[in-house]
Amino acid sequence: MSSDLGRAWAFASGCCVCGTSDERQLTTTRLGTGDLVIVCGTHELMHRRAGKNAASLSELRGMVKNRRLGRDRRDKGDELGGELESAFSPQRRGLDRRRN
């Protein structure tokens, strides 16, 4: 298995997940096939913490994609959260209590 990762131009393509191309952020991670791929530090950390080694580039992308996209984290709350939200909502405070 030969690798061009030691060459200066190898990192020019950027992170294979998000595309960031700032070389200060780039590193490598090894897929299950043994191939090294270029990723940013964030995606390398997420891959390492995933608990399993991605077998392919598409699997790596699926494992470390932004999990917050398409999901509203405010859907379900608890009682305390509801009370805090209502206590500090603009409707409750009114315009007369605004600071100048």
Domain limits at 19?
A: 1-68
State how far the alpha carbon of 22 is from the alpha carbons of 19, 28, 31, 48, 81, in Å: 9, 14, 22, 21, 39
Record the pTM. Answer: 0.58
**What pLDDT, on a 0 to 100 scale, did the predictor assign at position 28?**
92
pLDDT band at 81, cuts 50/70/90?
Answer: confident
Residue 45 within a domain: yes
Query: Which one is predicted more confidently, 67 or 36?
Result: 36
Per-residue pLDDT, averaged over 82-99, amounts to: 69
Tokens matching residue 24: 């200060």
Q: How many domains does the chain have?
A: 1
Do the domain assignments include residue 18?
A: yes
Residues of the chain above pLDDT 90, percent: 36
Q: How far apart are CA 28 and CA 11, in angstroms?
A: 10
